[in-house]
Amino acid sequence: MPAHKPAPRGSAAYQAPNEAWWERQALDWLAEPCGWRPVAGADIAPRKSDPTGMADPDAPRRTAWNDLVLPARLTAAITAINPHLPPDAVAEAVAAFSVRESNNPFHEFHRIHNLLTSGVKIPVTDRATGETTTHTAWALDFTDPYANDFLAASQVTLKSPDNTKTRRLDIVGYVNGLPLAVIELKSAFSSAGARDGHRQLSTYRGEYGATALAPVAFAVASDGITARVGTLHTSWEHMAPWDVDDKNVPIPLTTIHPTHNDADGRPTALEILLAGVFEPARFLDLLSNFLAFSKDKGGAVDTVRLSKAHQYIAVNKAVDRTVTAVAGDGQIGVVWHTQGSGKSEEMNFYTAKVMKHPALRNPTVLVLTDRIDLDNQLYGTFARSELLPEQPVKANTTAQLHTHLAVPSGGIIFSTLQKFRLSKEEQEAGLSHQVLSARQNIIVIVDEAHRSHYNLLQIGGFAKNLRDALPHASLIAFTGTPISNATGDTLAVFGDYIDIYDLNRAVRDGATVKVYYEARHIPVVLPEDVDIDLLDGRAEDLTADLDEEDRKRARRAMAAYEDVVGAPDRIKKLAADIVEHWETRRAVMAQAMNRLLPAQNGKDTRLTPGKGMIVGVSRRVCAELYNEIVALRPDWHSDDDRDGIIKCVYTGNATDEQPIQAHVRSQGAIKEIQKRAADEDDRLELVIVQSLWLTGFDSPPLHTLYLDKPMRGAALMQAIARVNRRFGEKPAGLVVDFLGIIDNLTKALAEYTHDGQPTPPVIERAIDAVSLVQNQHSKLSHILAGGITIEGRIIGIDWKKQLRSASAKSFVNAVLNTVEYLKTPEPELEEGKPTVSERFLKHARDLANSHTLCPTALDLRTIQTDLVFFEAVRQSWLKIKAQEREAQGLDSTADIQLAIRQLTALAVAADDVVDIYQAAGLERPDLTHLDEDFIRRIRESQRPNLAIEALRQAIEREVRAVHPNNIVKQENFSEKLRQTINKYINGSLDTATVIAELVAFAKEVSADRTRATDLGLSEDELAFYDAVTQNASALALGRDKLSAIVRDLVSQVRADATVDWQYSEQVRARMRSKVKRLLRRYGYPPDQAADAVDRVLRQAEASAEAWTR
């Protein structure tokens, strides 16, 4: 990647640049070093005079406002890449990218992506012979990426076919005339930033995803300081940064705006992402080899995943090593990417790429796991993939494996390491494994390389047997667990590390969430002759690498331990503790994750509580625990596998006795419950397992793991990884330990970080969050007790006194009175210091986040009501801010939308809390009929700050209603309103005076409703009238002449103000010249003409938006 070039510094009077600044920077970064030529969207906009977009070969254009394709550029590219195609075939290939076959955005994207990566099939008839052959027309040159035409268009307008809706895309990335990327930019200092950009992209997808945006493969959302990339179909939590160099080493990024005087010279996230993704060769590689479409059970393609940076670089490194290894010693190496970072998808990307690599001569890929269930899970990922050139097959026996390997080339085979075992007799006789294939173009992928692969030299060892069976194959290992430090055998088998992506990196990048640990030890009284450490180790030794029959024998060795752990009294205590903990945990996590469940059975919409998993030491203990839990909560049980809040899941057979037999199911039934456990919309919340689903099972809504089973090492970390998947606003996963495994966890963590030092810790103790909550609670209490200084006196609110009554009404009043307090003006506040409301909101948000990590902590029970209260105040404040933005005609930020949804679903007496007029004790006012009674009630309101806020919002709405497109009036009224409120905040106006001024202001705004009629003008003409009458010398011309001026102005402006005219300097210059000549012709005062022209042009921009809708 290129060396960073700091952006130009700003002036000493620093002002944070807006989206336009970032847009200019992005275009510069795309141009150099990426080689994308910048162009204004207006310069490629469609023209009625050029319906084909090809009238000017030097300036090809779009053909319609609801289509982004540049047909002239696409035609030229297809002609150059496919010189053998006749013109009519080229035209047919071009048309394939404009026709739409469905209204489904995802299906259209999938179809066009196939055209891009597999070519357009065109039947061509030889005129001499009459013979028809099918040719493949390529729109992109993948053999020479730099021969393609890369264009970055800024401010590109889209319009719906009926002209009712207009959208403007910040930057569209064109390759050979096809829109393949969209970049949405926001200010780095807005409240939501990049997330708002993603929300905007999602809106575009809903409106144009099946039409103009169907070809778009990459979507970037950025506020400059942060940047994420995905597809238009990628949810926010799976949008990912690209902030590494070509060796997969993180690049230190700035958190300071580059123009700020304190800028540190580091690159921004946006700059690095653009350099990483938009470099031409990498861009086309990502498009062709790292967009993975997957099919659902019915065979319909329903998902797509874009490779993340760590996956892309690791896979390409692995492919390069493969080419070298196949021609050399057959040792490709080891990829260690921690659980939850997308290892299965990496293997999918890797397999697809090596199978297409010309140097590898159509190799056979053999994928091996050490467990049948893992084989099924990974096979499912491959079988659903559209990226692979062939469908995988399973070899369930050694004979089937031999048959598949006999095919001379190609093929993807799945099997288990157990197929390479020798019988006891063969081992005793010292025999080697038979040769299954001596071919060199066989690549063996081993999933999870640990102890079963170390014994390279041991007779009967898997690694030796594998080498004996496939002597010339090349071996690569993908593992989510680190190679043991106690042995070097694994690296001796596979070769050195290819790439490492450990837990710290995964949490830092947001690939996984942090996991917290909570100890809730329920004592186990062991017999004197039983050592839990030895028993734990013995169990692990017995169960490692064995089939189901061997595992059954090993489990019998656990019988003594099971009797103690599964003692009836202990199971009762465990059940009661889990029920209590889960009911608290599910409530706080529902609010934190903020995912709405659809309404069912007439019930109200609610927030999803997520999922929890309970791990028991044996099937009997699991069954008995289930019985105790449903005894406490009978409504959680259901005999129907399709219903119920809790299920107990394990394998078994007809010989199992009760209570085990009650939960023995067929594999099909288990799979159906597994689907429920991964479905956020399903009411299943808790699953009890013994060993099933502790590896390979992926359920993003799963956030809590209850461990009542001794575990260590890889098995422990695999289990913990069940709760580290990203999902919505899920802040973290939680492991609840009932047996005291903290020492085992500490040892495992040291191995799971590359340097052995998990800093910052990727698994923290939940008890540590208690002190965070208590600290934030103390700060918030202090802020409310005395956070405002007025005339030297410290002002506070006695919120605790108001909370003493347990009634809902008292709670609501306390919330509203606190919001009123937070809106108190602070005239003596030092410049640059945060207001009391800003301090409260910061600490309240930190408190809410910390509380999700320890909601059941006993130490917090005494302040539980306070915590609910603080959160209600925070959310009510944000709701009022949303109303304020709505009154100003602005969208709510993502943070405010989140608060609104949470209040709607959960808040106590939410309707009373969040309506500002009710909060102020007022009805929603009609500003055209403000009577004395309404004015009196404003003055006498018990919450005057909220009353003033309510009246201000009403005035802002009235201004927009009376003057929807009149920028002069909107600006004048807004400035006057701002000055009035600022005087109140600064202490220059008291409450009575500011209310009087606002009432007078409201009447003035409402009186303006008849102004256009009084002047004999339309509303459009009135807007331009105000633009040219902002000075006394102009008013001297008289109403009649001024009216004539604006009628001529509106006529000329409407003729020239086509969509996007303001982005064409040529059109702007022509319009400016016409306005100047018109004003001169009517004798407009020349000393005021320049300002008038500027106002007219700005008004023309605002009016053109409405005229062209």
* pLDDT at 994 > cutoff 70: yes
Q: What is the DSSP letter of 369?
A: E
Q: What is the DSSP letter of 966?
A: -
CA angle 740/743/747 to nearest 5° reads 145
* pLDDT at 889 > cutoff 70: no
pLDDT digits (tens, 9 = 90+) for 575-603: 999 999 999 888 888 877 766 655 554 44
Given a contact cutoff of 8 angstroms between Cβ atoms, the answer to whether 287 and 255 are in contact is no
Best-predicted range by mean pLDDT (425-429, 508-512, 630-634):
630-634
Minimum mean pLDDT range among 65-79, 468-482, 1031-1045, 1062-1076: 1062-1076
Residues 961-979 as b or e (16 or more Cβ within 10 Å = b): ebbebbbbbbeebeebbee
Beta bridge partners of 303: 294
* pLDDT at 982 > cutoff 90: no
Whether the upstream peptide bond of residue 760 has omega within 30° of 0, thus cis, is yes
More confident residue, 807 or 904: 807
* pLDDT at 604 > cutoff 50: no
Q: What is the DSSP letter of 330?
A: S
Query: Given this model, what pLDDT does residue 598 score?
Result: 53
* pLDDT at 846 > cutoff 60: yes
Query: Given this model, what pLDDT does residue 124 score?
Result: 85
Averaged pLDDT, 1069-1085:
85
Query: Given this model, what pLDDT does residue 635 score?
Result: 96
- 6 within a domain of the structure (yes/no): no
Q: φ, ψ for residue 52 (rounded to 5)?
A: -95, -10
* pLDDT at 885 > cutoff 80: no
More confident residue, 752 or 63: 63
Tokens of 144: 């020479």
With CA atoms as reference, report the closest residue to 109 among 386, 309, 388, 342.
386
Query: Given this model, what pLDDT does residue 28 score?
Result: 95
Averaged pLDDT, 12-32:
77
Best-predicted range by mean pLDDT (40-54, 752-766, 797-811):
40-54
Given a contact cutoff of 8 angstroms between Cβ atoms, the answer to whether 723 and 703 are in contact is yes
Instruction: Please tell me whether residues 985 and 946 are part of one structural domain.
Output: yes
Query: Given this model, what pLDDT does residue 1058 score?
Result: 64
Query: Given this model, what pLDDT does residue 816 score?
Result: 80
Instruction: Please tell me whether residues 605 and 738 are part of one structural domain.
Output: yes
Query: Given this model, what pLDDT does residue 256 score?
Result: 65
d(CA 952, CA 943): 14
- 47 within a domain of the structure (yes/no): yes
1020 burial (CB, 10 Å; 0-12 / 13-18 / 19+) is buried
pLDDT band at 457, cuts 50/70/90?
very low
* pLDDT at 1025 > cutoff 70: yes
- 3 within a domain of the structure (yes/no): no
Query: Given this model, what pLDDT does residue 7 score?
Result: 38
Distances (CA, A) of 807 to 799, 804, 811, 813, 863: 14, 9, 6, 10, 17
Best-predicted range by mean pLDDT (16-20, 273-277, 547-551):
273-277
Query: Given this model, what pLDDT does residue 290 score?
Result: 97
Longest Cα–Cα distance of the chain, Å, equals 115
Instruction: Please tell me whether residues 576 and 724 are part of one structural domain.
Output: yes
More confident residue, 1007 or 787: 1007
Instruction: Please tell me whether residues 1006 and 1033 are part of one structural domain.
Output: no
- 561 within a domain of the structure (yes/no): yes
* pLDDT at 244 > cutoff 50: yes
Residue where a domain stops, chosen among 721, 755, 789: 755
More confident residue, 347 or 691: 347
pLDDT band at 282, cuts 50/70/90?
very high
pLDDT digits (tens, 9 = 90+) for 247-264: 888 888 876 666 555 556
**With pLDDT > 70 as the criterion, what percentage of the chain qualifies?**
80
Concatenating the DSSP letter of every residue in 476-519 gives: EEEESSPPPTT--HHHHHH-SEEEEE-HHHHHHHTSB--EEEEE
Instruction: Please tell me whether residues 700 and 596 are part of one structural domain.
Output: yes
pLDDT band at 875, cuts 50/70/90?
confident
Which segments of 787-863 does DSSP mark as H helices, in order?
799-803, 808-822, 836-851
- 919 within a domain of the structure (yes/no): no
d(CA 375, CA 390): 18
- 1055 within a domain of the structure (yes/no): yes
Query: Given this model, what pLDDT does residue 17 score?
Result: 58
Whether the upstream peptide bond of residue 659 has omega within 30° of 0, thus cis, is yes
Query: Given this model, what pLDDT does residue 739 score?
Result: 86
Residue where a domain stops, chosen among 501, 527, 556: 501
Residue where a domain stops, chosen among 434, 466, 501: 501
* pLDDT at 932 > cutoff 90: no
Q: φ, ψ for residue 476 (rounded to 5)?
A: -135, 145
- 933 within a domain of the structure (yes/no): yes
d(CA 981, CA 951): 11
pLDDT band at 487, cuts 50/70/90?
very low
Query: Given this model, what pLDDT does residue 908 score?
Result: 34
Query: Given this model, what pLDDT does residue 793 score?
Result: 63
* pLDDT at 916 > cutoff 70: no
With CA atoms as reference, report the closest residue to 121 among 92, 141, 98, 149.
92
* pLDDT at 881 > cutoff 90: no
Structural domain total, the chain: 6
pLDDT digits (tens, 9 = 90+) for 173-218: 999 999 999 999 987 655 457 888 998 999 999 999 999 999 999 9
Instruction: Please tell me whether residues 437 and 421 are part of one structural domain.
Output: yes
More confident residue, 782 or 356: 356
Averaged pLDDT, 611-619:
94
Helix (H) or strand (E) holding 646: strand 646-649
Query: Given this model, what pLDDT does residue 176 score?
Result: 97
**With pLDDT > 90 as the criterion, what percentage of the chain qualifies?**
32
Instruction: Please tell me whether residues 557 and 417 are part of one structural domain.
Output: no
Instruction: Please tell me whether residues 982 and 1091 are part of one structural domain.
Output: no
Query: Given this model, what pLDDT does residue 883 score?
Result: 64
Q: Which residue has the tokens 């009022």?
A: 880
* pLDDT at 477 > cutoff 80: yes
Q: In 15-107, which ranges are E strands?
A: 37-40
More confident residue, 666 or 994: 666
CATH number at residue 314: 3.40.50.300
Instruction: Please tell me whether residues 538 and 635 are part of one structural domain.
Output: yes
Instruction: Please tell me whether residues 32 and 127 are part of one structural domain.
Output: yes
Q: Find the domain containing 313 and state its range.
A: 307-501
Best-predicted range by mean pLDDT (396-400, 518-522, 524-528):
396-400
Instruction: Please tell me whether residues 547 and 603 are part of one structural domain.
Output: yes
The mean pLDDT value of the chain amounts to 81
Instruction: Please tell me whether residues 364 and 472 are part of one structural domain.
Output: yes
- 923 within a domain of the structure (yes/no): no
* pLDDT at 492 > cutoff 80: no
